[in-house]
Amino acid sequence: MGFQFGTILWGVALGAGGFLTVLLTEWMHTHVERKRLATVLYAEVAALWDRYSQTLGAPLVRWNEGQALPMRIQLLQRHNFFAVYDRNTDKLGLLKPQEAMALVRAYALAKGHLESISLAAELTKRDDNQALVDELGRGLRREAMQMRQVAEEASRILSRYVGRTARAGGRAGALIGEVDARTAYLTGRVGA
């Protein structure tokens, strides 16, 4: 009888150990996948923000009514600026729901801003109406300021998963801080 009870107990212990091993392995796999997702999205946000702030973000913030819009760039409609995000939307569930929603909101705003830029470039190419240019410029500048806020929030969310370098500021943090300082200066919010 003692032999059967010991064997049963040993079997239960092995089964429980196996079950815990499977759970731990699954948790580690999910953790690694979440970190990979956050790392590539963080890199994309940093690269896009860097390029955007250099080519259009800062010029839009400096733009004043009565001036031509700073549309120095020709947007290629077939170019996918958001390739990393678009190829990984199925993995957003690895993040907390509120974090995933914030990232979706950030990318939706960025994609909408890209559409606004394309529309403004097309409309100002065909029409020299300064009132139209001013209206488009005000809208683009407002969106540019919103872009700064959502890029900052996205970077903050993703940096939690990326690691020590990102938490210390990283490239995206430095870029966002630099553009934020320029935005504050240009909009008269110095010291804000």
DSSP 125-167: HH---HHHHHHHHHHHHHHHHHHHHHHHHHHHHHHHHH-HHHH
Assess if residue 2 is contained within a domain: no
Assess if residue 167 is contained within a domain: yes
Distance between CA atoms of 156 and 172, rounded to whole angstroms?
10
Residue whose pair of structure tokens reads 């919010």 in the numeric block: 189
- pLDDT of 105 reads 93
- pLDDT of 109 reads 93
Assess if residue 17 is contained within a domain: no
- pLDDT of 184 reads 47
- How many domains does the structure of the chain reveal? 1
Rounded average pLDDT over 56-72: 80
The domain of 90 spans 36-186
Cβ–Cβ under 8 Å, residues 127 and 134: no
Assess if residue 79 is contained within a domain: yes
Assess if residue 176 is contained within a domain: yes
Assess if residue 162 is contained within a domain: yes
pLDDT of residue 192 exceeding 90: no
| Percent of the chain whose pLDDT exceeds 90 | 14
Assess if residue 22 is contained within a domain: no
pTM score above 0.75 = no
pLDDT of residue 139 exceeding 50: yes
Q: What is the pLDDT of residues 51-60, one digit of tens each?
A: 888 888 788 8
Rounded average pLDDT over 16-27: 69
Q: What is the pLDDT of residues 120-136, one digit of tens each?
A: 888 877 667 888 888 88
Assess if residue 139 is contained within a domain: yes
Cβ–Cβ under 8 Å, residues 41 and 158: yes
- pLDDT of 34 reads 86
Model confidence band, residue 72 (pLDDT cutoffs 50, 70, 90) = low
Residue 76 φ/ψ region, left for φ over 0, alpha for ψ in the -120 to 50 degree band, beta for the rest:
beta
The better pLDDT of the pair 18, 108 is held by: 108
